[in-house]
């Protein structure tokens, strides 16, 4: 099968918009046949255009569960009123109606999306930590070096990644933002803005005000971590004190904590031992965190594993222990990199993406 990015659209919508099929590779069929073939043969980066109908969310769920992570456009020729547009946008679902957008504009937008999707040869940028530069290794230890590091981040307009747990019984929310200003000499501070999701500062004010944040930036193959104390949060911006310490972080991708009611389970087969069944503490598209009473897993050894993700079949691959620590009660904490077939990797990528959107929606409901 060709890896060419295709646009999947119903014949009726293609005719209404004026798509002839020469603008970009596309597949035009009736809705039922289109969905059937999309779920059977769709590629991860394909673009999907669906008509607006009552149960469209169910079809969107099937598409994402299939590992198709490209943009989904919900099209209609009349105005769409949806109360949770930001939640859908976080899942890569856009709404377009011909009463607001001209048909040439819609065709141009789909053409733009198609060109962007053709350039994607790596995991989605929402889940990979952005690289700020190549000049800082090892991490700076003194205030001058730390200030220069973040000054470089500011000059490059690179994004940093922040995590915050508003309450102990809530999962950690991960966001991206930019440094727009560094002020002060005696007690330097950074002004953070352009948050994604943009509701983060409002949520922080309502649920987590005063709590410290954990931040990450990437340096080529390495990831650097730091803790931020917040001075104030106003008008959609955070003022934070410049961190006093930078440390190396093993994980390159942001993590999500599975829903305890809908766990992610890892099956590991150690040598000379029966198969272990372990609940995953946190997951990213590149690795897993585990806490277990079994202390026999060793670093730098590949283990055969099976991973079950909610609403998906088990995927098989290997895992390598890159971190091992013994905590209180003789419990072992493990950090593992995972390696799955390319097609199976998309199941994990999609789970992380979808779980992050679910965490945001859950936290937002607490503030209503």
Q: Does domain 265-354 have CATH number 2.40.10.220?
A: yes
Q: Where are the extended beta strands (E) located within the chain?
A: 7-10, 26-29, 47-51, 72-76, 93-97, 131-133, 159-164, 173-183, 189-196, 213-219, 222-228, 230-234, 237-241, 247-249, 265-269, 276-283, 287-292, 302-308, 314-327, 331-340
- Along the 368 residues of the chain, how does pLDDT read in single tens digits? 456 888 999 888 888 888 888 888 899 988 888 888 888 888 888 999 988 877 788 888 888 877 788 899 888 877 666 556 667 777 788 888 887 888 888 888 888 888 888 876 444 444 444 444 444 456 676 778 888 888 888 888 888 888 888 777 777 888 888 999 888 877 889 999 988 888 888 888 888 777 888 888 876 566 788 889 999 888 889 999 999 888 876 666 667 888 888 889 999 988 878 889 999 988 887 889 898 999 899 998 899 999 998 877 788 999 999 888 887 778 888 888 898 887 788 788 788 878 877 777 777 776 65
7-119 CATH choice from 3.30.420.40, 3.40.50.2300, 3.40.605.10, 3.40.50.1820: 3.40.50.2300
Which residues on adjacent β-strands are paired with residue 230? 240
Q: Please state, in angstroms and rounded to a whole number, the distance separating the CA atoms of residues 305 and 58.
A: 31
DSSP 32: H
Concatenated DSSP letters for 240-272?
EEPPS--EEES--B--BPPBTTB--EEEEE-TT
Whether the predicted model's global pTM rises above the 0.85 cut = no
DSSP 353: H
Per-residue tokens: 14: 């293609």
Per-residue tokens: 41: 């043969």
Which residue is associated with the tokens 């390696």? 339
CA dist list (Å): 150 to 52, 136, 145, 255: 45, 11, 9, 23
131-254 CATH choice from 2.30.110.10, 2.60.40.10, 3.40.50.150, 1.10.357.10: 2.30.110.10
Which residues on adjacent β-strands are paired with residue 75? 51, 96
């Amino acid at each position: 099968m060709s890896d060419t990015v295709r646009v999947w659209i119903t014949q009726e919508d293609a005719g209404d918009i004026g798509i002839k099929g020469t603008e970009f590779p596309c597949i035009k069929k009736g809705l039922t046949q289109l969905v059937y073939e999309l779920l059977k043969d769709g590629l991860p980066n394909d673009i999907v255009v669906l008509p607006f109908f009552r149960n469209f969310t169910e079809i969107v769920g099937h598409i994402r569960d299939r590992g198709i992570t490209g943009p989904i456009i919900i099209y209609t020729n009349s105005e769409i009123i949806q109360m949770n547009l930001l939640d859908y946008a976080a899942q890569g679902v856009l709404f377009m109606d011909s009463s607001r957008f001209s048909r040439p504009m819609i065709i141009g937008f789909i053409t733009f999306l198609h060109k962007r999707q053709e350039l994607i040869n790596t995991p989605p940028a929402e889940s990979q930590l952005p690289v700020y530069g190549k000049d800082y290794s090892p991490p700076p230890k003194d205030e001058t070096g730390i200030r220069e590091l973040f000054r470089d981040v500011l000059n490059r307009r690179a994004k940093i990644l922040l995590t915050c747990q508003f309450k102990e019984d809530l999962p950690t929310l991960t966001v991206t933002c930019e440094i727009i200003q560094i002020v002060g000499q005696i007690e330097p501070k950074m002004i953070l803005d352009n948050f994604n999701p943009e509701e983060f500062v409002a949520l922080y004010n309502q649920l987590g005000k005063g709590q410290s944040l954990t931040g990450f930036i990437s340096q080529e193959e390495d990831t650097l971590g730091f803790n931020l104390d917040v001075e104030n949060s106003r008008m959609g911006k955070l003022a934070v004190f410049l961190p006093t310490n930078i440390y190396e972080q093993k994980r390159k991708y942001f993590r999500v904590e599975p829903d305890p009611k809908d766990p992610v389970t890892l099956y590991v087969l150690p040598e000379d031992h029966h198969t272990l069944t372990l609940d995953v503490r946190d997951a990213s598209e590149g690795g897993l965190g585990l806490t277990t009473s079994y202390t026999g897993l060793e670093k730098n050894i590949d283990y055969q594993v099976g991973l079950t993700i909610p609403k998906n079949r088990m995927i098989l691959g290997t895992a390598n222990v890159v971190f091992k620590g013994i905590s209180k009660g003789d419990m072992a904490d493990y950090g593992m990199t995972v390696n799955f077939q390319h097609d199976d990797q998309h199941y994990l990528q999609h789970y992380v993406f979808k779980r992050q959107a679910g965490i945001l929606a859950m936290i937002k409901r607490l503030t209503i």
